[in-house]
């Protein structure tokens, strides 16, 4: 038997919970929710299985740490939790604290990893389970797996794959810790510097039409629903673009990036830095006219 304290939120945490709760050799002694966004599904799962719920504005406070001591768990598990674990609390359990990260560490540390992987035209993304230390996603790796990215993928498809993938690999990592069969990999043996991705903010969704067609294709699919969608401006109104299509064998030519150069059954063509793309799914109240120009600077 191994006992755990589970810190989680969202579909990532739901899928993993389902794996853990049916394993009779794993006992979830408590579930800790995000303070600012209390997941109703995770609450229901915990209550159904008579597992105590914990909520704290500061998990590193003396008061919370004292509560954690009373549970006397073997391992803390973090899945999409949004507070930073400091040294005292992360080292409290016998086996310390592990985190599941939807990125191929030591690359893609930080936030919004799936979006950045698509923007960077990666051919695969990784999921990593690692021990926590006081850095950001820098602890020793327990398990890591890679998943392919094709041109048919977008943010939504990667997200669904990551929900399941995180549950699979996190459960496997817990079983390795339970059996004492962990073989750790120090991240600096892969790359001494690694890579950090910053959190995306409002305004980062604006399309730069002076980018190549491939760059715009990747940018739009990285932000498509359920993300905020990429956007531009047309006739002083915002147009939100959910999908663009690459044009096979499109001829490069000189013109104004962002200019609408033709209309199609599904949407319209827009000039890019090198060729053009077809916008096939968008939200816009105005009229689309050939010759109009998309604006992006200062939007």
**Is residue 129 included in any domain, yes or no?**
yes
Q: Which residues pair with 148 in a beta bridge?
A: 124
**Is residue 234 included in any domain, yes or no?**
yes
Q: How far apart are CA 102 and CA 262, in angstroms?
A: 39
Do residues 19 and 135 both lie within one domain? yes
**Is residue 30 included in any domain, yes or no?**
yes
CATH number at residue 251: 3.10.25.10
Do residues 136 and 249 both lie within one domain? no
Q: 266 is in which domain, residue-wise?
A: 213-283
Q: Residues 228, 197, 56, 170: what is their CA dihedral angle, to the nearest 10 degrees?
A: 100
Do residues 222 and 260 both lie within one domain? yes
How much is the pTM? 0.92
Structural domains of the chain, count: 2
CATH number at residue 77: 3.40.50.170
Inter-residue contact 244 to 278 (CB < 8 Å) = yes
Q: How far apart are CA 73 and CA 181, in angstroms?
A: 19
- 3-state secondary structure string across the chain: CEEEEEEECHHHHHHHHHHHHCCCCEEEEEEEECCCCCCHHHHHHHHHCCCCEEECCCCCCHHHHHHHHHHCCCEEEEECCCCCCCHHHHCCCCCCEEEEECCCCCCCEECCHHHHHHHCCCCEEEEEEEECCCCCCCCCEEEEEEEECCCCCCHHHHHHHHHHHHHHHHHHHHHHHHHCCCCCECHHHCCCCCCEECCCCCCCCECCCCCCHHHHHHHHHHHCCCCCCEEEEECCEEEEEEEEEECCCCCCCCCCCCEEEEECCCCEEEECCCCEEEEEEEECCCCCCCCCECECCCC
Residue with tokens 């719920």: 53
Do residues 167 and 233 both lie within one domain? no
Do residues 26 and 168 both lie within one domain? yes
Do residues 190 and 267 both lie within one domain? no
Hey, what are 9's tokens?
A: 């939120």
Residue 299, pLDDT score: 64
Do residues 185 and 109 both lie within one domain? yes
Q: How far apart are CA 188 and CA 172, in angstroms?
A: 23
Residue 93, pLDDT score: 97
The series of mean pLDDT values per 10 residues for the chain, 299 residues long, is 97 95 97 94 97 97 96 97 95 97 96 95 97 94 97 97 96 96 95 91 92 97 96 93 94 90 95 96 94 83
Residue 21, pLDDT score: 97
């Amino acid at each position: 038997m191994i006992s755990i304290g589970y810190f989680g939120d969202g579909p990532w945490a739901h899928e993993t919970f389902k794996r853990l709760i049916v394993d009779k050799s794993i006992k979830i002694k408590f579930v800790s929710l995000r303070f600012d966004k209390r997941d109703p599904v995770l609450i229901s799962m915990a209550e159904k299985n008579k597992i105590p719920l914990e909520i704290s504005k500061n998990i590193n406070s003396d008061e919370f740490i004292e509560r954690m001591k009373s549970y006397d768990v073997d391992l803390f598990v973090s899945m999409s939790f949004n507070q930073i674990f400091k040294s005292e609390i992360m080292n409290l359990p016998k086996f310390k604290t592990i985190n599941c990260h939807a990125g191929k560490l030591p690359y893609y540390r930080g936030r919004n990893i799936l979006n950045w992987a698509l923007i960077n035209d990666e051919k695969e993304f990784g999921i990593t389970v690692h021990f926590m230390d006081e850095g950001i996603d820098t602890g020793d790796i327990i398990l890591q797996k890679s998943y392919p990215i094709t041109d048919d993928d977008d943010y939504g498809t990667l997200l669904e794959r990551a929900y399941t993938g995180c549950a699979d690999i996190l459960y496997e990592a817990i079983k390795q810790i339970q059996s004492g069969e962990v073989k750790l990999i120090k991240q600096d043996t892969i790359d001494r510097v690694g890579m950090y991705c910053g959190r995306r903010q409002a305004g980062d969704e604006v399309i730069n039409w002076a980018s190549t067609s491939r760059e715009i294709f990747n940018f739009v699919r990285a932000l498509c629903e359920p993300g905020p969608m990429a956007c531009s401006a047309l006739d002083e109104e915002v147009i939100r673009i959910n999908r663009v299509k690459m044009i096979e064998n499109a001829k490069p030519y000189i013109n104004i990036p962002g200019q609408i150069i033709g209309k199609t059954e599904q949407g319209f063509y827009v000039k890019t830095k090198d060729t053009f793309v077809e916008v096939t799914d968008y939200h816009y109240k105005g009229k689309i006219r050939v010759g109009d120009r998309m604006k992006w600077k200062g939007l």
